[in-house]
Chain A
């Protein structure tokens, strides 16, 4: 088990190193010079060169890369070129916003998807199960941003129940916070819940067909009881995998939803920084996302080992 964990940690670190190289490299080949964007289209070449030097963009690429990595390790991604504002605190602010959004969406999705998925599996031969299954198929097909736009037009613009966008800090205005969180979280959760429910359904169906469950039922347990006592742990393995993957997609989906709902999260910061060619900010945000995804995978892998003793045995 420990060997397995060390192995995975090694993979995690190697992936981070590769990712940092790729992110840095892509940023350097992206067209659009930050200095020219800052100075405007008519700046003289000398002025642009001078500003590039001020930004440190005239140094050898290797030096820039090492400097940047050093900053990342020390948790100091540097300052923005144009505004000279430190990047770290901005990311810290924005990440809180995005985390609220992603966690709320995840929670909503799980709360809805697990019972619905189990229901669909247990009732898969009945009309209600089939109808629900069809509905979940539709849910999978609706992109989050479209759901967002629809929800805004109904619940914000028509009914005026909640604001159409924006953000407040929960500590400052808890009610306003929940109002603003509701629609974007639901938009993100819809697709996730639909996807997750389908996975739960098939995982549970698989388990239902297992011999041990048949045995349990033969001993007189009702299907849901049997599932609860014997099947859940087994059904959980594929579901946890999907949850991990979905958490990663949620982070990325949040980028779009933040734009639709004017939420100042990591996604908005990323898009704005790309437009302004704030390379260091873009790199830092992308790295945060990369780290998040890699860590999620790591945690999922580790969870396998805990949930399923057979994997643990295999690892030895």
Chain B
């Protein structure tokens, strides 16, 4: 129980930031050619029996592919600092994770499985409490220090110390102890079995730091990844250089420049005028027309970004009545909404699970578009003409979709007032912290965030019923099959209770020069892997 509640707190939607992420960052990620089967086995290979795998890590650098070229990538939100241990927001791990910092294990871009990174293999004990990792030999940090088991122990323990301040640290509350019996062996013991532990290791909390390299994380990150941090022109770009002593396959590009734009038009113009080579995330899908048939490649995949229409269910609020919430779900024509406000790009999900998760089920049939049904539910709830405040953050998808939601709800007899709140500050304070809203729209882009967003009654989504929390707890501590079954049950419960409405899943849209290869099709993890990029 403790594990669940803490975990629930834990990745608790980096939501809002996630939302920025989505905008900015959420194209991060391990792509997968088949999102429906992808990730089904994320923990699979490791639970129970020995899991030995040989990943892409040990491959020798093919010197022929090394170039002196620079690739310029356009993104939307500049990080506030380079230290994700004390600063939240998706922009930092997007830039640094897997590129500058590495983790013990990572999510494979193609299969969605958890595969080796710094750990060449690992064993899980019978009782699923002890994880023994064997590290790859000969890994050095960019400051020249050797990466040993001590660094891993230091990094994992540091997450639970006061040094880490962001809420994500709670993911490691389940860790009982970390030992480093020799230079290449790390033993992690959990307080109770946890299906999400190994997955958490692939995220930013799993980043391995140099014991001597954490003095100035905000400005001077030191990691073991394929790139090293080079420079930061605040307000415009961050430059990474290829790590020439990298232990794995050397990246193709010698230099990567991340160019930050606040404005979607400016980003598109930069692409149209050749000032950048890749648009990492298209902010306005209708603008893709500018690039179609114009000598650009357009990548369209999926993300973890569920665009959630949250409904305040606190006692005394109009939407605490499930009948009225169900009416709202019936009143929204999701396909037409997505067509109108996001140019039809994206996918309909019906609950809090993206197709790339193992426990995905199509739940769009739970509340089909049915205005008459909505009207009769409203009558049943005695809520004709009920006034509702839709308080949306100033994010492109929220602003665009907010007016559509407003008109659809007014069609069935509700009175909706839209307030736009500056994101993140004003939205955080009003909607997130004070829960002073009736409905809001934010994309939750954290991977596997169902429990975080709906498992806690104190979270701004105000759901977190006892029933759901029990199911989530059973899912995390149970076997892998139980986890999948229980998570499906949880998603069904959230949908049927109309804990919120799920407008659509954001697409991963990228534009790039035609000769750029290695772009991740799907953005389903925190990092934007740069090492795979190359030019034909």
Contact = CB atoms under 8 A, between A and B. Distances in A.
The answer on A and B forming one complex is: yes
Interface in B144-174: 165-168
A24 interface: no
Contacts of A31: 425-426, 429-430
Contacts of A129: none
A88 interface: no
B273 A272 contact: no
Interface string B75-102: 0001011100011110000000000000
Given A43-B88, A50-B165, A82-B81, A268 B235 contact: yes
Interface string A250-280: 0000000001111010001101100111000
Contacts of B258: none
Contacts of B424: 32, 37, 41, 275
Contact of A42 (B9, B233, B235): B9
Contacts of B191: none
Interface stretch (A102-110, A152-160, A241-249, A301-309): A152-160
Given A84-B219, A163-B275, A269-B235, A261 B262 contact: no
B88 A260 contact: no
Interface residues of B, number: 49
B12 interface: yes
A164 interface: yes
B14 interface: yes
Contact of A83 (B12, B17, B80, B269): B80
B432 interface: yes
B266 interface: yes
Which residue among A47, A165, A262, A264 has the maximum number of chain B CB atoms within 10 Å of its CB?
A: A262
A167 B266 CA distance: 13
Nearest to A40: B88
Interface residues of A, number: 46
B262 A156 contact: no
Contact of B428 (A37, A50, A260, A271): A37
A7 B452 CA distance: 63
A32 B422 CA distance: 10
Contact of A264 (B86, B234, B432, B452): B234
B265 interface: yes
A69 B513 CA distance: 50
A42 B167 contact: yes
A99 B228 CA distance: 34
19 contacts: A32-B428, A33-B425, A39-B86, A40-B16, A41-B13, A42-B13, A51-B86, A83-B82, A85-B219, A90-B234, A153-B269, A156-B269, A165-B266, A165-B269, A166-B236, A166-B270, A167-B236, A259-B262, A259-B263
What 6 A-B pairs come out closest when comparing CB atoms?
A40-B88, A32-B425, A264-B235, A164-B269, A42-B167, A42-B12
Given A164-B275, A260-B266, 16 more contacts: A31-B429, A31-B430, A39-B88, A40-B14, A40-B17, A41-B14, A41-B428, A82-B81, A84-B81, A157-B269, A164-B273, A165-B275, A262-B263, A264-B233, A268-B262, A272-B235
